[in-house]
Structure 1
């Protein structure tokens, strides 16, 4: 085998590093692809999203620095920062499960808009009570709310 110059060895090392990076990238996708298929539940709010504003029918909850504030158009209800933080925590920890398209979804019983950091438009969550379950429609997909209850996701007076 012939001798390689310093420049040739550098090229060999660079190419081998690129091959290793591609190998690690593809093996990570391959090893993690099965875990998504077995999981039937997911979070109501994606884990990579940060809520900045929530708009309910008669209440708006906004992030102010490290805390939260509530703005109501008609009546004044005092919400503590702790109450609002618990509400946000309930949304972040809520679990939903994808279900088949529901035929009787004509008008939602409640709608909530969530604004996420870095997004120009809000995401609308439509809720509907159907028999003994709560249905959630997000981006034309229908889910069943598993936990917590719908009342935990609304501001309590």
Structure 2
């Protein structure tokens, strides 16, 4: 196959354009992580929380403000903004062991702006540890400080 110089230039230009488009298609934007890397997060990257149903309270967004309703007779001193921020940015270590039958469980529902159904997370309270399932169903270990930020009234 014999091509003229002009034809070879066109082949090279089209090949380079195809390579650029391929690299741009698979390129991650700055600050974006693939799903596999974000395995230690409770919620998807960039999630916008509309409502958070915790075992002892519900935090719901009304316009630009957050409203807290206690589901038990308890005084809630924690700032809802601090709690929501902790849920959106918490990164935890994966829990590699099985959760035994001795664990007490609590359900957490998280309503996100991008989903029609809430995410259902399960908190497992073991005698010496707490473990929670994330949005992908992976078990993550909660250290005491993070647990206080996510669940306990401060």
**TM-score normalised according to structure 1 size:** 0.67
Mapped partners of 1:47, 1:147: distance in 2: 23
Aligned-residue CA RMSD (Å): 3.7
Cα distance change on mapping 1:58 and 1:103 into 2, 3 Å: closer
CA distance in 2, matches of 1:107, 1:147: 17
Which shows bigger deviation, 106-115 or 128-137?
106-115
Q: Higher strand fraction: Structure 1 or Structure 2? A: 1
2:98 matched to which residue of 1? 102
Q: Where in structure 2 are the equivalents of 1:66-81 lying within 5 Å?
A: 66-72=64-70
Query: 1:62 aligns to what?
Result: 60
Cα 1:75–1:50 change in 2 (3 A) is: same
- Cα distance change of structure 1 residues 134 and 58 upon mapping to structure 2, 3 Å threshold: closer
1:141 aligns with 2:132: no
Once the two structures are superposed, residues 101-125 of structure 1 have per-residue CA deviations (whole angstroms, 9 ceiling, x without a partner) of 5141576432210011120111112
8 Å Cα contact 2:129-2:142 kept in structure 1: yes
- Displacement of 1:140 after TM fit? 3.8
1:128 aligns with 2:128: no
Three-state SS of the structure 2 residue aligned to 1:47 is coil
TM-score by length of 2: 0.68
CA contact (8 A) 2:76 2:153 kept: no
Relative to structure 1, the CA distance from residue 25 to residue 105 in structure 2 (aligned partners, 3 Å threshold; closer, same or farther) is farther
In the other structure, the counterpart of 1:32 is: none
Distance 1:41 1:19 in 2: 31
Structure 2, unaligned runs of 5 or more: 29-33
Distance 1:119 1:59, change over 3 A: same
